[in-house]
Every structure is written in structure tokens, then in C-alpha cells.
């Protein structure tokens, strides 16, 4: 369970309270003033008890979030997504820059993959609490390749942002699951490491106060936050995509239609290709997957391209929205349309 305290309440005070109740402190997050505790009582009773405490601002369960992919034919060989968003034309103007780091908060990234190994910064593993960020699931490696795989190396696939480096942040386990606490730590870490863009291809329907705080922290640090809108085919908000300041991304198919699985609604910011997307995969292979998880890193890659010109996340976000193409569903399925990398970088270039 997560207990968030009011400003000014000391950690020592809360530790005494936990001991008095027979509860155990698991972790303390000083940046956002919350604790993760293991309670002796039933969760609902403990939640009610702590929520009434004068020192406590809010209490929430340490929910699990899930990565948002749908497996598909691993032999699919058409990388149509880059041409749909006109990334190949944008590269005539800019290919991004190494200093503009794209953080992938996910299941890790295969460090030895030939299309990724020279792009990876040293990251962190919040599942095992070490620096081993290798991918034991596959999702994170796939997402990383869409955003920024090595390009023009005569092998494999091309990434949306060919020159940008990748910061792997492993918050999800081999089953593609992560607690709210691990996700929050991952977002804070990415922001503190200087990432310009943070890709979040995961989520759930439950709102989290501490996760929202982590996103606000990263935004204040100047990060562009991009998140998958979810794969339930629903109009209900999905988090972290639904938090203020986050660019939420729906998925489209090869014909620019909304993918059948994609969440939608006026709360969704933009759309990007997310059906049968070919990208890097563990064991130095390639695979095609579908999901809003695959759509989000196209937007993160575009943000990486724009970070070469613009310093503020607000300017980058505004440019991504303003340059999007109005396609079928714009105004109802998503607010701004299908991202257009060529138009975005042309506008940035003046």
C-alpha cells in the first residue's frame, strides 16, 4: 500500500505510526513524500485507517500496471509506420542528436542487439535494484527500436529518431507487470538522468496520485512525456496517458483507421501507427507487434527529433499537436490527428 504524507510531516513520525500498527515499511520516496508499506491488517481496513490520519494526504493501493502490446506475425516485413508519419522525409532536415536522450520505461532493452547496442546509455533496473537492464520479456526492446533503432547500418530496421540515444529503465518484470512504486521510481530516475523524452508504453484504468506527481515532476524537469492510450477499445481514461501534460497516443492501421483495439476519445492527444509494427526483439531478432505500445514510441521518436531545435517540452508538445494530419476520427477518437514528422521538423526549422 502507498501512503502519501502532507508537506512537513517527518518520515520518522510515520515510521512510528507504522510500527505502532504492526505494519512494515518497504520503501520511502523522499522526492514525492510517500511510503510503500506492507500492512498487517486487511488492505481495505488499513486503507481506511490511514486515510483518516491527520498526517496523511492520501492512501492508494500499489497497483500493477501492464505493458500494452498485442503479439502478431513475427515474419511481417513491412515497416510502413515510418512512411505513414513521414519520418523518412523528416530525416532530410534532421536525424536528431545524441544528446537528446529518449528514456524507455519498460521491461528493459536487449543490450547486445545489433540495431540497438551502440545507442544505449547505462540505465537502471528497479525490479532487481541493479544496473542490469536487459530485457526478459521483449516488449521494451521492441518499443526502443521503434523510437530510435540504429539507421543506415545495412541490417534490420530503422528508428524514428536515428541519432538519439536510448536510456533503458527497467520497471517491468518478465511478465510485463510493474507496481506503481517501481513505475514512479523509473519516471523520476529518467527525469533526473536528463532524459528529454520519456516513453511510457503501459498503463491501467486506475488513477494514481503518486504516479501523477511523478509525471508532474518530470514535466517540471523539462521532459516530454508520451504514453500509450490503452488497448481496451474503450473511451475511458487510461493512466499514465490520462494525466495532465502527457501526450496520449492512440493506434492506427495501415489505412489510417483507428485500430480496433485502441482506446479513444477527446482525452487522447494524437494517433500513430500501431498495427503490425516491425521492430527489434530479443535474441537479436525482429518481430511485428500491435498495440498502442507500438504507436507511442513513434511520437517519442518525433519528440526526440524536435528536441534538437527546441529546448522546452511545451514547445515540442505544441509542435507535435499542431503539425498532425486531420484523418478520419480526428475530433472524436483523438484530438489532433495522425502525427506528421516532416511537417513538424519543417516548422521547427523555420
Structural domain count, the chain: 2
CATH number where 328 lies: 3.40.50.200
Residues 268, 133, single domain; the answer is yes
- State residue 73's pLDDT score: 34
Q: How confident is the model over 32-56, as pLDDT tens digits?
A: 989 999 998 888 888 999 999 999 9
Instruction: Work out the pLDDT band at 78, boundaries 50, 70, 90.
Output: low
Peptide bond before residue 240 is cis, with ω within 30 degrees of 0: yes
Residues 338, 301, single domain; the answer is yes
Q: Is the pLDDT of residue 285 over 90?
A: yes
The shares of helix, strand and coil residues in the chain, as percent rounded to the nearest 5, are 30, 25, 50
Q: Is the pLDDT of residue 82 over 50?
A: yes
Catalytic residue IDs:
106, 139, 293
Residues 243, 131, single domain; the answer is yes
The domain boundary residue, chosen from 29, 47, 62: 62
Average pLDDT over residues 311-323: 94
Residues 142, 27, single domain; the answer is no
Residues 234, 106, single domain; the answer is yes
CA gap 204, 215 in Å, rounded: 15
Cα–Cα nearest to 189, from 279, 272, 121? 121
Looking from the CA of 235 toward its CB, the CA atoms found within 13 Å total: 7
Q: How confident is the model over 189-201, as pLDDT tens digits?
A: 999 999 999 999 9
- State residue 178's pLDDT score: 96
- State residue 43's pLDDT score: 85
Residues 46, 185, single domain; the answer is no
Under 8 Å between Cβ of 301 and 161: yes
The CA-CA-CA angle for residues 122, 128, 132, to 5°, reads 30
For the chain, strand residue ranges (E) read: 2-5, 24-29, 34-38, 56-60, 64-67, 70-71, 102-106, 124-125, 166-170, 177-179, 197-200, 202-203, 224-228, 247-252, 270-273, 277-281, 285-290
The domain boundary residue, chosen from 40, 62, 84: 62
Cα–Cα nearest to 301, from 279, 286, 283, 268? 279
The domain boundary residue, chosen from 13, 42, 62: 62
Instruction: Tell me which residue range forms the domain holding 24.
Output: 2-62
Residues 242, 268, single domain; the answer is yes
Residues 103, 179, single domain; the answer is yes
- State residue 61's pLDDT score: 86
Residues 14, 163, single domain; the answer is no
Residues 252, 180, single domain; the answer is yes
Residues 271, 180, single domain; the answer is yes
Q: How confident is the model over 99-130, as pLDDT tens digits?
A: 999 999 999 999 999 999 999 999 999 999 99
Residues 130, 6, single domain; the answer is no
pTM, two decimals, is 0.91
- State residue 76's pLDDT score: 34
- State residue 75's pLDDT score: 35
Amino acid at each position: 500500500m502507498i501512503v502519501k504524507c502532507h508537506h512537513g510531516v517527518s518520515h520518522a513520525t510515520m515510521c512510528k505510526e507504522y510500527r505502532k500498527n504492526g505494519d512494515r515499511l518497504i520503501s520511502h520516496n523522499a522526492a514525492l513524500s510517500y511510503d510503500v508499506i506492507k500492512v498487517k491488517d486487511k488492505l481495505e481496513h488499513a486503507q481506511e485507517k490511514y486515510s483518516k490520519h491527520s498526517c496523511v494526504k492520501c492512501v492508494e493501493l500499489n497497483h500493477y500496471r501492464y505493458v500494452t502490446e498485442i503479439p502478431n506475425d513475427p515474419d511481417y516485413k513491412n515497416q510502413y509506420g515510418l512512411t505513414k508519419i513521414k519520418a523518412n522525409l523528416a530525416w532530410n532536415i534532421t536525424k536528431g542528436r545524441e544528446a537528446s536522450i529518449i528514456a524507455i520505461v519498460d521491461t528493459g532493452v536487449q543490450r547486445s542487439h545489433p540495431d540497438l547496442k551502440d545507442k544505449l546509455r547505462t540505465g537502471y533496473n528497479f525490479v532487481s535494484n541493479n544496473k542490469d537492464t536487459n530485457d526478459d520479456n521483449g516488449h521494451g526492446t521492441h518499443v526502443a527500436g521503434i523510437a530510435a533503432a540504429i539507421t543506415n547500418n545495412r541490417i534490420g530496421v530503422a528508428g524514428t529518431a536515428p541519432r538519439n540515444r536510448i536510456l533503458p529503465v527497467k520497471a517491468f518484470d518478465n511478465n510485463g507487470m510493474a507496481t506503481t512504486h517501481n513505475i514512479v521510481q523509473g519516471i523520476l530516475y529518467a527525469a533526473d538522468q536528463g532524459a528529454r523524452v520519456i516513453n511510457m508504453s503501459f498503463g491501467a484504468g486506475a488513477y494514481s496520485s503518486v504516479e501523477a506527481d511523478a509525471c508532474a515532476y518530470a514535466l517540471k524537469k523539462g521532459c516530454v512525456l508520451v504514453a500509450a492510450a490503452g488497448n481496451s477499445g474503450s473511451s475511458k481514461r487510461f493512466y499514465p496517458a490520462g494525466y495532465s501534460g502527457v501526450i496520449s497516443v492512440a493506434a492506427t492501421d495501415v489505412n489510417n483507421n483507428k485500430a480496433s483495439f485502441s482506446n479513444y476519445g477527446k482525452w487522447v492527444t494524437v494517433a500513430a501507427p500501431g498495427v503490425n509494427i516491425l521492430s527489434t526483439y530479443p535474441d537479436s531478432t525482429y518481430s511485428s507487434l500491435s498495440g498502442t505500445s507500438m504507436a507511442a514510441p513513434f511520437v517519442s521518436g518525433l519528440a526526440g527529433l524536435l528536441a534538437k531545435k527546441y529546448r522546452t517540452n511545451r514547445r515540442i508538445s505544441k509542435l507535435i499537436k499542431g503539425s498532425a494530419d486531420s484523418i478520419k476520427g480526428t475530433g472524436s477518437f483523438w484530438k489532433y490527428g495522425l502525427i506528421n514528422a516532416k511537417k513538424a521538423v519543417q516548422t521547427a526549422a523555420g
